[in-house]
């Protein structure tokens, strides 16, 4: 149990366009979902925390108008990268927790975004 999926697994988009990444908890209801960004050979950096039905909380330095997060249901969160630029090319990973008191995060397989 506790499976998290992401779609798409990889995406290529042109500079200036927007791209949406979906994160789904397949067999549990996720009270909280997290979005991370990971550059090659680097660690995971938290971008934002989202709770169903409320606005996301963004990490310091992350532009909320550029990285739009919607947590519309207990099983789905989306990250939209608006007006993408080549420097946004990265590996985006989501995670989810089953309980607000549960420290364990279940990670998705990641989405590779390449902006040309």
Partner 1 sequence: QQQVKQSPQSLIVQKGGISIINCAYENTAFDYFPWYQQFPGKGPALLIAIRPDVSEKKEGRFTISFNKSAKQFSLHIMDSQPGDSATYFCAASYPQGGKLIFGQGTELSVKP
Residue for token pair 């985006």: 92
One symbol per residue from 31 to 70: x for binding partner 1 (CB under 8 A), - otherwise; what is it? -x-x------xxxxxx--x---------------------
**Shortest distance, position 55 Cβ to partner 1, whole Å:** 16
Secondary structure (H, E, C), 40-69: CCCCEEEEEEEECCCCCEECCCCCCCCEEE
- By CB under 8 A, tell whether 77 contacts partner 1: no
Binding string, residues 9-38; x marks residues near partner 1 by CB under 8 A: -----------------------x-x----
- Separation CA 111–CA 88 (nearest Å): 12
Q: Does 104 bind partner 1 (CB under 8 A)?
A: yes
- The alpha-helical segments, DSSP class H, found in 30-78 are none
- 41: buried, middle or exposed (CB in 10 Å: 19+, 13-18, 0-12)? exposed
Cβ 65 to partner 1, closest distance in Å?
Answer: 21
Interstrand relation of 90-97 and 44-51 (parallel, antiparallel or unpaired) = unpaired
Nearest-approach distance from CB 14 to partner 1, in angstroms = 23
Q: Which residues bind partner 1 (CB under 8 A)?
A: 4, 6, 32, 34, 41-46, 49, 91, 93, 95, 97, 99-110, 112
């Amino acid at each position: 149990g506790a499976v998290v999926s992401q779609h798409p697994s990889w995406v290529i988009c042109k500079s200036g366009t927007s791209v949406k990444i979906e994160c789904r908890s397949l067999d549990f209801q996720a009270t909280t979902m997290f979005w991370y960004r990971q550059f090659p050979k680097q660690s995971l950096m938290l971008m934002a925390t989202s709770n169903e039905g409320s606005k996301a909380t963004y990490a310091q330095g992350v532009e909320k108008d550029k990285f739009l997060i919607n947590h519309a249901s207990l099983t789905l969160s989306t990250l939209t990268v608006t007006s993408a630029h080549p420097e946004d090319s990265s590996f985006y990973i989501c995670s989810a927790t089953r309980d607000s008191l549960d420290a364990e995060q279940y990670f998705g397989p990641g989405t590779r975004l390449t902006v040309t």
